[in-house]
Amino acid sequence: MAGLDELLEAGGSRRGATGLVLVLNGPAGVGKSALAVNWLRSHAQRFPDGTFYVDLRGHTVEDPADPGEALGQFLRALGHTAVPADLGEASAFWRSATAQLRIAVLLDNAATAAQVRPLLPSSEQAVTVVTSRTRLTGLAMDGAELLPVGLVDAAAAAAILSRWVGPDRIAAEQLAADQVVDRCAGLPLAICVAGARMAARPRQPLSATADALRPERDRLTALRLDRERSVHRVLDASYRLLEPTAAELYRLLGSLPVREYTLEIAGAAAELPLAEADLLLDDLGEVHLLEELGDGRYRFHDLVRLHARERGQAEDPVERREAAVRRVGEHYLAAATAAEALIMPSHRFLARDYLQAPLHAPEFTEEAEALGWFDREREQLAAVLRDASRSHRYTLVWQLADAMQPMFIRLRSQALQLEAHALGLDAARKAGDRIAEQWMLTSGGQGLRGAGRVRESAQWYADALVVARGNGDRKAEAQALTGLGHAHRILGEPDLARGRFEQALVLREALGYRRGVGLIRIALGEVAVDAADEAEAVHQLSMAIEDLTAVDDLYEAARAQATRARAHLLAGRYDRARADLAASRTRFVAAGSMHWQARTDEWAGELALAQGDFDAARDLFIASRELYLGIAAPDAARLARRIAELPPA
């Protein structure tokens, strides 16, 4: 309302030959017509020559209003009984008749710009408000202001609900009221329908409506009062506007487990070229069935997604919907594998099985780009993984969990890592794949260790060791021994840790696995740092840097270098420690590893502390804590304590 007032008061600078034209566009049920009517009513005194209204029925495919008929109504309202039959002549007559009038025109539910143009008056003092479920971008060329009407926030939704049922009932059942607001997802029509339902049942608790809205499959049915006031009805009307190919994409997107869609996902779901997917997504956005998020991403309103899924269940064979879900799942597997190949090329040991060649899988050229993709898609990946597990697509589950490993290592998605490997291990066992089982146990053990569940981690590694030996896989055996060594180290059992690491080192040297040798030497260096054996630590870590650099694993070489800085710090070689920390941190920044940037900042703070520079130590600890907070790492609490222990500035 305030925004419309501002445009009205702006005066002639915003008015053309047809006066001020305002286009309110938005999804069905968002309240465009109510906004337009209330705003024009609040300024009725500005339009002494009258207000004109027509419903253009743009939401109906079968019977949109003829602009010629609307012109006849308008002209007869002005007292002109002889109306030209030709649309062009009638439009010219309308413009002449309104040239000096101060009027308002409300063109409700417009379908196209072509339907609107003949109805625009010619007076500079006129105000025309157009509402539409489509964007009507063509009217911008005529000087119209295009104003999207969005969903309401939770506070506004609660206020609307309170007007229906009264503040006392809301206060008495605040939790139920909050649940109703949440399940209506910001759509005013849904909130009003739910409110009217509760108002009509004054003796019924609000929790009854909240419970009726809980199951997604029944939500659209519950949000119905009669044929005219039904969320289902208005969404059906928008759906009927779609061309067949756009309608099919709408239904297929509704069947997917993910909540956001890109060109690539749409193309994979419907087996479309990207150019065609782009046009169809734009068609869905044009009628506000899809919301554009920016950066080429779209999403459904929650209730629209339910409607799309319902239409798919009614109109598409189950095989068609399942194939779309499978193609999108395999798209994510291919994309995650491509990112994995760039970030952790040595990790690609396991098979990737596709029923058909993945469509539109992205290609990555830089680590930061691949990590950025993982960061953007982590919720989508989780949704695909969970859906595949529920649908018993076991091979996809464990392969996707395996392909997501770089995300777990670099972005520290600990909760998802634990869930993914629990699902992956279960899937591998149900698929009877012993190799996949061994890898799920090993990488899952790593996740448990990172989450602080060290004894569980040790058990997973012990199980992995049994499976690896049963498979006769010496490389996997070394991996399980390495995991056990890390668990022993954290549990304060350095001799057991060193023994496991040395067993793994022998196996890897015999296999000629130089990268694995380098990683074991990092672990042996960490044990030596713990024991304050500076000479042994520098020896092992320097050899690790040499091994890892030789196989072009610069990320792990940077880990070795950062750990060597701690050994130099133990020996009081502060300049060497500072140089190692600076060099390794540069590499971690390039790799996008927030965790290791935080760790090097923390160790640099320890270096400053050792030199008595408390101010520098404080700044570095604060920087480290902020980075840890950014990835929700539990280390942030430790840094907070370290900062508090420093002497006052």
**Which CATH number does the domain housing residue 268 bear?**
1.10.10.10
Residue 141 per-residue DSSP state: G
Q: Which residues pair with 350 in a beta bridge?
A: none
User: Would you state the structure tokens that stand for residue 170, as one six-digit string?
Assistant: 């809301």
Q: What is the pLDDT of residue 625?
A: 95
Residue type, 612: G
Domain span at residue 123 reads: 2-148
* Sheet bearing 260-261, strands edge to edge: 260-261, 297-299, 291-294
What secondary structure does DSSP assign to 430-473, as a single string? Answer: HHT-HHHHHHHHHHHHHHHHHTT-HHHHHHHHHHHHHHHHHHT-
Distances 75 to 18, 84, 490, 494 between C-alpha atoms, Å: 17, 10, 86, 94
Token pair belonging to 187: 């759509």
Residue 12's pLDDT band (cuts 50, 70, 90): very low
State the total domains in the chain: 4
- Any domain includes 306: yes
Q: Are 146 and 25 in contact (CB under 8 A)?
A: yes
Query: What are the beta bridge partners of residue 52?
Result: 105
d(CA 34, CA 11): 24
Q: Are the beta carbons of 428 and 391 closer than 8 angstroms?
A: no
Average pLDDT over residues 614-625: 95
194, 229, 264 — which closes off a domain? Answer: 229
Q: Which residues pair with 299 in a beta bridge?
A: 260, 291
Could you give the C-alpha distances from 232 to 160, 172, 378, 582, in angstroms and in order?
20, 30, 32, 60
Packing angle, helices 514-530 and 494-511, rounded to 10: 160
Name the phi and psi angles at 289, rounded to 5: -85, -20
Tokens 């009725």 belong to residue: 44
pLDDT digits (tens, 9 = 90+) for 324-362: 999 999 999 999 999 999 998 876 678 899 998 888 888
Residue 97 belongs to a domain: yes
Rounded CA-CA distance 462/468 in Å is 10
Q: Give the end of a domain, one of 173, 197, 229.
A: 229
Q: How far apart are CA 81 and CA 572, in angstroms?
A: 101
Same domain as 186, residue 136: no
Does 547 reside within a domain? no
Domain contains 52: yes
Helix axes 394-403 and 414-431, enclosed angle (nearest 10): 140
* Structure confidence at residue 224 (pLDDT): 64
Verify that 206 and 303 share a domain, yes or no.
Answer: no
pLDDT band with cut points at 50, 70 and 90 for residue 503 = very high
Count the residues in the chain.
649
Neighbours of 526 (CB within 10 A): 24
Comparing CA positions, the residue from 395, 449, 444 lying closest to residue 418 is: 444
Highest mean pLDDT among 119-123, 153-157, 305-309, 579-583: 579-583
Of the candidates 386, 464, 463, 457, the one whose C-alpha atom is nearest the C-alpha of residue 427 is 386
Q: Is residue 131 part of a domain?
A: yes
Q: Give the integer Cα–Cα distance in Å for 96 and 510.
A: 95
The more confident residue out of 142 and 513 is: 513
- Alpha-carbon distance of 412 to 354, in angstroms, equals 28
pTM above 0.75, yes or no: no
Q: What is the b/e burial string over 405-438, where b = at least 16 CB atoms within 10 angstroms of the residue's CB? A: bbbbbbbbbbebbbbbbbbbbbbbeebebebbbb
Residue tagged 């007007």 (tokens): 163
Q: Are residues 139 and 15 in the same domain?
A: yes
Lookup: tokens for 479: 């991996």
The pLDDT value given to residue 611: 94
Q: Fill in the amino acid letter for 405.
A: Q
Q: Tell me how many helices (H) and strands (E) the chain has.
A: 32, 8
Q: What does the pLDDT read at residue 263?
A: 94
CB 56 within 8 A of CB 109: yes
Among the ranges given (233-247, 578-592, 632-646), the one the predictor scored with the smallest mean pLDDT: 233-247
* pLDDT above 90 for 141: no
608 plus 628 within the same structural domain: yes
Region for residue 296 given its phi and psi (left: phi exceeds 0; alpha: psi -120 to 50; beta: otherwise): left
Shared domain check, 250 and 221: no
In a shared domain, residues 215 and 243: no
Tens digits of residue pLDDT in 467-478 = 999 999 999 999
pLDDT in tens, 102-112: 999 999 989 88
28 with 79, same domain: the answer is yes
Whether the CB-CB separation of 533 and 549 falls below 8 Å is answered with no
Q: Does 615 score more than 70 pLDDT?
A: yes
CA atoms within 13 A on the CB side of 236: 12
Q: 286, 284, 293: which is closest to 311 by C-alpha? A: 284
Region 283-294: mean pLDDT is 80
Tokens 């690896």 correspond to: 468
Has residue 60 got a pLDDT over 70?
no
pLDDT, mean over the chain: 89
Check pLDDT > 80 for residue 200.
Answer: no
**What is the pLDDT confidence band of residue 234, given thresholds at 50, 70 and 90?**
low
- Residue 416 lies inside a defined structural domain of this protein: no
Share of the chain above pLDDT 70, in %: 95
- Across 516-545, average pLDDT: 95
Q: State how far the Cα of 447 lies from the Cα of 500, in Å rounded to an integer.
A: 19
Q: What angle do CA 240, 241, 246 make, to 5 degrees?
A: 90
8 A C-beta contact, residue 464 and residue 456: no
> How many CB atoms sit inside 10 A of residue 463's CB?
18
Tokens, residue 176: 């139920």
CA-nearest of 219, 138, 152 to 187 is: 152
Question: Of the spans 198-202, 264-268, 592-596, which averages the highest pLDDT?
Answer: 264-268
> Do residues 231 and 224 lie in contact, with contact meaning Cβ atoms separated by under 8 Å?
yes
Q: CATH number of the domain that 122 lies in? A: 3.40.50.300
Distance linking the first and last C-alpha atoms of the chain? 51
Q: What pLDDT is stored for residue 13 in this prediction?
A: 46
66 and 122 share a domain?
Answer: yes
Q: What is the mean pLDDT of residues 86-115?
A: 90
Mark whether 158 and 126 lie in a shared domain.
no
- Give the Å distances, CA to CA, from 281 to 284, 300, 586: 5, 11, 41
Mean pLDDT of 602-610: 95
- Classify residue 537: in a domain, yes or no: no
pLDDT of residue 225 exceeding 70, the answer is no
pLDDT digits (tens, 9 = 90+) for 403-444: 999 999 888 778 899 999 999 999 999 999 999 999 999 999
Exposure string of 604-613, with b = 16+ CB inside 10 Å and e = fewer, is bbbbbbeeee
**289 and 167: one domain?**
no
pLDDT band at 193 (very low <50, low <70, confident <90, very high): confident
* pLDDT at 229 exceeding the cut of 70: no
Q: Which of 316, 343, 360 is the last residue of a domain?
A: 316
Q: Between β-strands 20-25 and 145-148, what pairing exists: parallel, antiparallel or unpaired?
A: parallel
pLDDT over threshold 90, residue 299? no
Q: Residues 502-520: what's their mean pLDDT? A: 95
Q: Could you give the C-alpha distances from 164 to 50, 182, 191, 206, 304, in angstroms and in order? A: 32, 16, 9, 12, 24
Do 10 and 96 lie in one domain? The reply is yes
For 337, 395, 432, the CA distances from 429, given in Å and listed in that order, are 22, 10, 5
CA dihedral (27, 31, 32, 33) positive or negative: positive
Compare 196 and 559 and report the one with higher pLDDT. Answer: 559
Same domain for 20 and 119, yes or no, is yes
Over residues 153-162, the mean pLDDT reads: 91
Rg (CA), the chain: 32
- What are the strands of the beta sheet with 104-110, ordered from one edge? 51-55, 104-110, 127-132, 20-25, 145-148
Q: Is the pLDDT of residue 637 over 70?
A: yes
d(CA 510, CA 538): 24
Q: Decide if 502 is inside a domain.
A: no
Q: C-alpha angle 108/109/113, rounded to 5°?
A: 95
Residue pair 217/289 in contact by the 8 Å Cβ criterion: no
Give the pLDDT of residue 237: 66
